[in-house]
Amino acid sequence: MIDRVLASVARHGMLPRGARVVVAVSGGADSVCLLHILREIGGNVAGVAHFNHKLRGEESDEDERFAAALASRLDLPFYRSQAPPGAGNVEQEARRDRRDFFLGLIRDGACERIALGHTRDDQAETVLFRILRGSGLAGLAGIHPVTGDGFVRPLIEVSREEVRDFLRSRGIGWREDSSNRDSRFARNRIRAGLLPQLRREWNPRIDEALAQLADLAFEEERWWRSGASPVRGAVEMSLDELKAMPRAIARRTVRAAMERAKGDLRGIEFQHVEEVLGMKPGKLRLPGLVVTRSFSWVRFGAAEVRAIEPVQVIIPGTYDSFSIRLEMRETPDPGCVNLKVEQAAPLVLRGWRPGDHYRPVGKSRDQKLKEMFQLARIPSWRRAAWPILESEGKILWARGFGPAAEFNVAAGLDRWNGPVLGIWDLGNGSQT
């Protein structure tokens, strides 16, 4: 068993050289075994951490005293925290509180790694539970051996019975958690009823098979995620290109876009990905995410795009929110848009508003910007922040559609003797 623990630690790089590890000890067999094994294999154990959920009254307090005494016998620092049960989902709240406590130890410099005592049995139960719920491939990866925020699970390839045999062979005691027999919890029903039935009637090595499935899914998930962008923000992509991809790659691409826009995939289910791939023009409101389709484009964002506040222009000036630079010149510059304006005329940079219209160069009459957006297939979410320059209620220029004919210097240069306003569109990549 110790050899397999060492192999797991090495394979997943759980304990880099010099990394201090605090072991999360509930008092149960798995966490007690983990603490002793890490010390036996020479892990840099920097302390014992215990979270008391106060769910079982005196029994919970006894668990805390047991963990504290164990840390004292091994001459290790003891870190503790507690929180009474909340009014919501007890299991979810307990998991969140523990996680926050452990991450706090890393942030405070007590360690670089938190070791958790999950075993192969825990992995099998998790995978089976997710299969029953209809999980996707990422969910089938189950309990990850290592996580990016510092959690490691050295016992993940060891069975629960092997853990107990190890402790018995060394005369090491542990605490039994009575809540593990509470049939109100789905995991307990799987552990006590469903898995034993599957072992008897279908596959005596079902735990190993489920753990292997988790390992396959985890490695595939890790490979896909290795190329993911660490930058968080809204994502735009072509739905036509997504539909042209093999379905497996399209699903992965959508999930990656969701994670980048949202920051995580909590609450995102298989059907959400399928809804995106089949969505019609409009909006999908998913947990922590707004997905918008316009024409053949789809946008993933944590929120909807808001209009940029209008800006009173001061010349010369660069306006980063619009990616526009403005400058008055004596003569036209062929590298930018040139407009004839009175120097005293007030200028405003703003986004598009319903009803906007003007006559661009080359057009015989006024054009509605909404119609021009539609002809150019500009997605709806880009319009709110679409740069438009106006003066005294008249549009002088709009990105992508060019200057208004009546203000365009090239059209009436011989009749204009005043200075020229140059517009450099830094965000468009062209001077249309």
Which among 304, 363, 338, 343 is positioned nearest to 420, based on CA atoms? 338
Q: Which residues contact 4 (CB under 8 A, 6 or more apart)?
A: 157, 158
Half-sphere exposure of 43 (CA within 13 A, CB side): 29
Q: Which pLDDT belongs to residue 265? A: 85
- Cβ atoms within 10 Å, residue 270: 15
**Residue 348 tokens, joined:** 């405003």
The string of DSSP letters for 370-413 reads HHHHHHHT--HHHHTT--EEEETTEEEEETTTEEBGGGBTTTSG
- CB of 26 within 8 A of CB of 101? no
**Residue 280 tokens, joined:** 């019609």
Q: Which residues contact 331 (CB under 8 A, 6 or more apart)?
A: 420
**Residue 35 tokens, joined:** 């603490």
Domains and CATH numbers, the chain: 2-225 (3.40.50.620), 235-301 (3.30.465.60), 311-425 (no CATH)
**Residue 298 tokens, joined:** 């789809």
The pTM of the full predicted model, rounded to 2 decimals, is 0.67
Q: What is the pLDDT of residues 61-86, one digit of tens each?
A: 999 999 999 999 999 999 999 887 66
- Cβ atoms within 10 Å, residue 266: 9
Burial of 43 (0-12, 13-18, 19+ CB in 10 A): buried
Distance CA 116, CA 151 (A): 7
Q: Which pLDDT belongs to residue 241? A: 93
Coil, strand or helix: which one is 45?
strand
Which secondary structure element, helix H or strand E, spans residue 286, and what is its range?
strand 282-286
- For residue 192, what is the DSSP state? I
What is the layout of strands, in order, in the sheet containing 337-340?
317-319, 324-329, 420-425, 337-340
Question: pLDDT averaged over the chain?
Answer: 88
H-only helix segments in 134-269: 137-140, 160-169, 186-189, 195-201, 206-225, 239-244, 247-262
Q: Which pLDDT belongs to residue 432? A: 32
Distance CA 210, CA 216 (A): 10
Q: What is the pLDDT of residues 12-33, one digit of tens each?
A: 999 999 899 999 999 999 999 9
Distance CA 404, CA 398 (A): 8
Residues of the chain with pLDDT under 70: 85-89, 227-230, 343-344, 411-417, 428-432
- CB of 277 within 8 A of CB of 242? yes
Q: Which pLDDT belongs to residue 150? A: 93
Q: Which pLDDT belongs to residue 429? A: 44
Coil, strand or helix: which one is 365?
coil
How far, CA to CA in Å, does 84 sit from each of 53, 185, 346? Answer: 6, 18, 62
